Amino acid sequence: MTTEQLPTVEEIYKTFNACYKFLRSKIENINNINWDATVNECVEICEQFNHSSLSMALTGACYQYLAKLTGWKITK
């Protein structure tokens, strides 16, 4: 069993900031979300932070929040 090293405060800040910017940019154009591109952007954020549990949880939460705001109407 392996355990992930706990992130530093700086890593937490950078990850949160990247997810916040991503979410903010999507909300500004909420009616025209390209869900395929959004998934790819979520993957890019996770890759940027080495697929840490924190980045995966935050990007997943952003995606769910966007889906909820649009009434779960995820279309291409």
Residue whose entry in the numeric block shows the structure tokens 């869900």: 35
User: Among residues 59, 68, 64, which one has the least CA distance to residue 18?
Assistant: 59
Q: What percent of the chain has pLDDT over 90?
A: 72
Give tens-digit pLDDT for 34-68.
999 999 999 999 999 999 999 999 999 999 999 99
Residues 6 or more apart in contact with residue 61 via CB below 8 angstroms:
19
Domain of residue 47 covers 11-17+35-67
Q: So what's the pLDDT on residue 4?
A: 62
- Tell me if 56 is assigned to some domain: yes
- Tell me if 75 is assigned to some domain: no
Q: Predicted confidence band at 76 (pLDDT cuts at 50, 70, 90)?
A: low
Average pLDDT over residues 14-39: 93
- Tell me if 4 is assigned to some domain: no
